[in-house]
Structure 1
């Protein structure tokens, strides 16, 4: 049984005439009559008294009419609600960010600025590299990109001329290790030439790896590391470090709890910390209707911070 059959029956009950009802439904009379007949066969009883002029409903038809009106009204309300949801979703601004920012920064930031109704995290982006975020903005796959950004000088082969950004705050990459039985780091910096420290590293084509490499290059002495594993996501690095496979640099926000409960300890003092900015990027020519107002709001907030 199709919804349009129920709608046909409601129109026929109102018009009490097959030809006028068929016209109202924009179908030929034979097609309309066939659909009413199929409806009666489906229900297993006669719904229309065809012997009267104008047509009338049988007692079963009167009962069935009430049901048709209830069902079609529920369908109409549901359709309207679904269209409203689709419209709201189309208006929402998609924000792409690394998994560690989605977990440890974004929820509080959205609440702080009352942006939860307007912005949705684009979860497909949590394992992207820096180039993927820029391409995602260019393609319109996402509207905003929230990224860690190196504070020191770093060579980046990236085309950024079509982008604008706001600085939302600061972060640091902190070197951490699992503790030994005495609570000291199992692996510590700077290591030794004959005993390099095992490193659980960020992906070599990622921005974090480039920031760390530049920072280590500015240190006065050498550091001795051997890479055991590389990952895009800080969560994966943290898991391997907690299990004692090596040391790793992780965003400070992501290790506050593991360090507080003793799962992780520092693998080096603060000179090994890598300073980062938190930057929110958008395209200058973004066509999302809600983005200009949001950007203006955030710009006013952070320019006065």
Structure 2
């Protein structure tokens, strides 16, 4: 049974005439009559009294008419609601972010700016490298990209000609490791040339690893490290560091609770910290209807003090 059969029956009940009902349904009379007959066969009884003029409904037809009106009204309302959901989804702005920002920054930032219903996180982006975010912006796979960004000069192969950004906060990478039996760091910077410290590092082509390496080269004291593992996601690095496999640099927001509980300890003092900013990027060619208004709204707030580490 199709919804249009129910709509046909309602039209017939209102016009009490096959020809006029067929016209209102934009079909030929033979087609319309065949649909009504199929409907009666489906219901297993006669719904229309064809012996009267104008025709009338049988008692079963009157009861069925009420059901048809209820069902078609529910379908109409459902269609409207589904279309509204689709329209809302089409208007939502998609933001891509690495796992650590998605976990520790984005929810608070969206809530603070009342953007939870307007901006949708893009979960496929949590393990991307920096270049992937800008490629996604260029092909409109996402509308915004929330990224860590260096505060000091770092060579990055990123063309920002067609992009603009806003700084929304800051972050600090801190060197951490598991404690030994006395609560002291199991691996303490700077290490020794003959006995380098095991390091759980970020992906070598990722921004964070480049920033860490650039920072270390600027220090007067060299760090002696040997890389045991390279990872994209902060959560994976934190897990390996917590298990005692080596030291690693974690965003302060990701490490704070573990440091407070003693599950992790600092592997070096503030000299070894790495400063980052948190920046929101967009492509100037993006034509999303709500993006300009959102961008202007965010420009008015600029840097969010609550997002400073």
1:238 partnered with 2:238: yes
Q: Which residue of 1 aligns with 2:143?
A: 143
Q: Which residue of 1 aligns with 2:112?
A: 112
5 Å-filtered alignment, 1:145-294, equals 145-294=145-294
Q: Which residue of 2 aligns with 1:128?
A: 128
> In 1, are the aligned partners of 2:167 and 2:303 still within 8 Å (CA)?
no
1:304 positional shift: 9.9
5 Å-filtered alignment, 1:79-90, equals 79-90=79-90
Which residues of structure 2 form unaligned runs of 5+? none
What TM-score, normalized by structure 2, do the two folds share? 0.95
Q: Equivalents in 1 of 2:185, 2:31: separation in Å?
A: 81
1:285 positional shift: 2.7
Q: Equivalents in 2 of 1:76, 1:188: separation in Å?
A: 67
5 Å-filtered alignment, 1:38-77, equals 38-77=38-77
Q: Equivalents in 2 of 1:246, 1:206: separation in Å?
A: 20
What TM-score, normalized by structure 1, do the two folds share? 0.97
SS at match of 1:183: coil
SS at match of 1:208: helix
> In 1, are the aligned partners of 2:98 and 2:147 still within 8 Å (CA)?
yes
Q: Equivalents in 2 of 1:221, 1:94: separation in Å?
A: 43
Structure 1 residues 80 and 147: CA distance shift in structure 2, 3 A: same
Structure 1 residues 304 and 237: CA distance shift in structure 2, 3 A: closer
Residues 235-274 of structure 1 deviation map (CA, whole Å, 9 limit, x = unaligned): 1111111111111111111111111122111111111111
Residues 46-86 of structure 1 deviation map (CA, whole Å, 9 limit, x = unaligned): 11111111111110000000000001000100110111111
Q: Equivalents in 2 of 1:303, 1:265: separation in Å?
A: 30
Residues 124-171 of structure 1 deviation map (CA, whole Å, 9 limit, x = unaligned): 111111111001110111111110001111111111111111111110
Q: Equivalents in 1 of 2:100, 2:204: separation in Å?
A: 18
1:102 partnered with 2:91: no
Q: Equivalents in 2 of 1:252, 1:293: separation in Å?
A: 32
SS at match of 1:84: helix
Q: Equivalents in 2 of 1:203, 1:9: separation in Å?
A: 66
Q: Equivalents in 1 of 2:176, 2:77: separation in Å?
A: 55
1:216 positional shift: 1.0
Q: Which residue of 2 aligns with 1:296?
A: 296
5 Å-filtered alignment, 1:6-45, equals 6-45=6-45
Q: Equivalents in 1 of 2:89, 2:249: separation in Å?
A: 37
Q: Equivalents in 1 of 2:62, 2:270: separation in Å?
A: 82
Which residues of structure 1 form unaligned runs of 5+? none
SS at match of 1:136: helix
Q: Equivalents in 1 of 2:40, 2:231: separation in Å?
A: 64
Corresponding pairs, count: 305
Q: Equivalents in 1 of 2:80, 2:89: separation in Å?
A: 14
1:303 positional shift: 6.9
Q: Equivalents in 2 of 1:186, 1:136: separation in Å?
A: 40
